[in-house]
Amino acid sequence: MSDGTPADLFFDAAIGLLQRVRDEEAEAITAAGTLLADTVASGGRLFAFGAGHSSLAAQDVVYRAGGLALMNLLAAPGLVGVDVMPATLGSRLERVDGLATAVLDTSPLRAGDALVIISLSGRNALPVEMAVSARTRGAKVIGVTSVAYAAQTASRHSSGTYLKDHCDVVLDSKIAIGDAELTLDTIPAPFAPASTVVTSALLQAVLATTAATLADRGIEPPLLRSGNVDGGHEWNARVFEEYRDRIFYQH
């Protein structure tokens, strides 16, 4: 690390990654946004799943002002964020065979739905099994991952495959192995992860594409408004009522 403060260098790194995904993933973003629009238009439901810190980006698109009301969080005990105690248990659970199938068995996901699966490495049993099982059930899968991990790490799934191998659309976050953007001679480990920034931006770009695609087809996108602006609650109540059979975070 050379010129600039650590803060400046992190912003530079994050901006660089955002520029890369904007330019290099444009086609995949359009494909993912179109897939979600197709799902909404055909009466399907939308779900997002991530384990550990990958869950942060999933939560960011659920019940969100300016976001699609139909995006539901697919949750599993001990895997939503870092709320499980001890936090290290969450990392262990991601490697358990059969857990993803159990989660889907007890979820509302069905044929015709779409599931966004977020996993930085894409190498653990959970996201791989989640993608395989969801597609077996007739759902479409969008994977958000760093493809570099598949070339430089070993899969932890019995098939030897990665999340990217079982998706209808793959969004590559371009995050380097280890998810740390900065180094200093005075610090023995790399630091400053950027995966949450980039992954959240990728998903918001996808959902912006979905909303615009629906509008182009003459379909009003089921968007939420902030409850902190006048009329927001009334607007949201209308959307909730209209799409009540496809919104599960109200139940």
Residue 81, pLDDT score: 66
Residue 186, pLDDT score: 93
**90 close to 63: Cβ distance less than 8 angstroms:** no
Residue 2, pLDDT score: 56
Portion of the chain with pLDDT greater than 70, in percent: 97
Residue 133, pLDDT score: 95
Residue 117, pLDDT score: 97
> Low-confidence residues of the chain, pLDDT below 70?
1-2, 78, 81, 95, 251
Put simply, whether the predicted model's pTM sits higher than 0.85 gets the answer: yes
